Chain A
Amino acid sequence: MSKKSLSYKESINRINEIVELIEGGELDIDELTILVKEATGLIAACKDKLQNAQIDLQTSLDKLN
């Protein structure tokens, strides 16, 4: 697997983590806002990656060979 910024699996795990924290209801509004930002950022990044396969530089170099 090419080295991606954050793999799909790592992203979805972190998102799951955050959602569980949020649903736990123990966060104050500032922590909540920060985590929501992080989660929505990750979701957007994943969605983008689904639409645009990121290819490593390695592959491009291989192709040149």
Chain B
Amino acid sequence: MAQLTLFELNNLVKTQLESNLDPSYWVVAEISELRINQKGHCYMELVEKENNFIQAKMRANIWSYTYRTLSAQFEHATGTVLKAGIKVLFNLTINFHEVYGLSLTVNDIDPNYTIGERSRLREETIRKLENEGLIDNNKALVLPMVPQTIAIISSDSAAGYGDFVDQLKNNTETYSFHTQLFPALMQGNEAVVSIRKALKEIHECKTNFDAVIIIRGGGAQADLDCFDTYELARAIALFPLPVLTGIGHERDQTVADIVAHTSLKTPTAVAEFLISGMAHFDNLLHEFLYRIEKQYETRLSIEQQKLQHLSSQVVHSSREVLKSHDYELKQKGLNLKHLSERFFDRQDSIINQFDQQLTLLNPQTILSKGYSLTLKNGKPIMNQEIEVGDFLETRTANKTINSQVTTVENE
């Protein structure tokens, strides 16, 4: 019976592997664990899963020199770091060590697989959300005319948040916003849970806010994977307030952007969006004010003209009335004058007549004509008996003669 030492056995395996296997293979595997030791070597556990059941498993490592290059290239190409949970296309060499057994050494990585895989997963997630009718759910909410009270999900140490708040507070029009930060991790494995927790907190006091914004700083393209997950997208889609995103992505929109009410590129863009909402409303107010003033001025001017017209009518009419009364009065005055003149004339002539008559009848007038008046005992002799020897007084115009009767003859 042939007998081998263990070393010989392991060596046999080793040589068999070396001679029958290619120096390297391109293999797709999921990283289930990854750690870097202090020397910079990367130790991974690779798996293949089918519905969460592990079908295959193998240790793999990337020597630090290789790791430095590959990880940088990978991150640059995919926007993600090498980490547990992602599927990667590795170029592997199989090693068998007599003591340490079977392991894989990574020589190279093709990031396109991961990109493609991520795209595929993303498409899958989107498809799932579409089937559940969630894609447009948040978009169906009506964003208030002037979003003014804002709940912010961000990391308060992120530059994005600071810049955003600054921009809102110092906007040129001095519009006023009220914001409240609900801090959350914006990258890494805990991000999804953290953001969902923040959303839940906002939900508790949702009546205080007009909208929710999720913002994340600009700068280097870092890990946006959390924003492509189904769980986060679903939470956003179902949220009862409009959700705006400003996640600072350089490539395509994330799934979170797709389900959000409004997705903007950066926190700055979100700030501008909010400010412009206010400015738009402000302009509306101005326009209305302008229209009102114009109408009012026109109407006032019309009414003033009417008043003016009426008032001059009043003046004119009353003048006419006064004129005609004036004329009447003058006429009456003239009449009165005429009548009274005639009256006095008549009276005058009556008096003159009387005067004339009186003059004619005045005894003095008769006397002055040469007649004389004869009196006996101071009375006219006309109806007295005259006898011889009576004493008579005779008055002429300028004499008084006393005589005695010598003879009397009757006619």
Contacts and interface: CB of A to CB of B under 8 A. Distances in A.
A62 B208 contact: yes
Interface residues of A, number: 32
Contacts of B148: 49-50, 53
A40 B292 CA distance: 8
A8 B144 contact: yes
Nearest to A29: B303
B370 to A, nearest CB: 101
B164 to A, nearest CB: 16
B305 interface: no
Category for how many chain B residues contact A: 20 to 34
A46 B285 contact: yes
B343 interface: no
Interface stretch (B39-47, B174-182, B313-321, B353-361): B174-182
Contacts of A18: 292
B176 A52 contact: yes
Most central of A3, A7, A8, A9 by chain B CB within 10 Å? A8
A39 B303 CA distance: 21
Interface in B287-332: 288-289, 291-292, 295-296, 299, 303
Interface in A2-44: 2-3, 7-9, 12, 15-16, 18-19, 22-23, 29, 32, 36, 39-40, 43
Given A12-B145, A53-B176, A56-B207, 20 more contacts: A1-B149, A1-B210, A3-B207, A7-B144, A7-B145, A19-B292, A29-B299, A36-B296, A40-B289, A50-B146, A50-B278, A50-B281, A51-B176, A53-B149, A53-B177, A55-B178, A58-B208, A59-B149, A59-B178, A59-B205
Interface of A: 1-3, 7-9, 12, 15-16, 18-19, 22-23, 29, 32, 36, 39-40, 43, 46-47, 49-53, 55-56, 58-59, 62-63
Top 4 A-B pairs ranked by shortest CB distance?
A53-B178, A53-B176, A59-B208, A8-B146
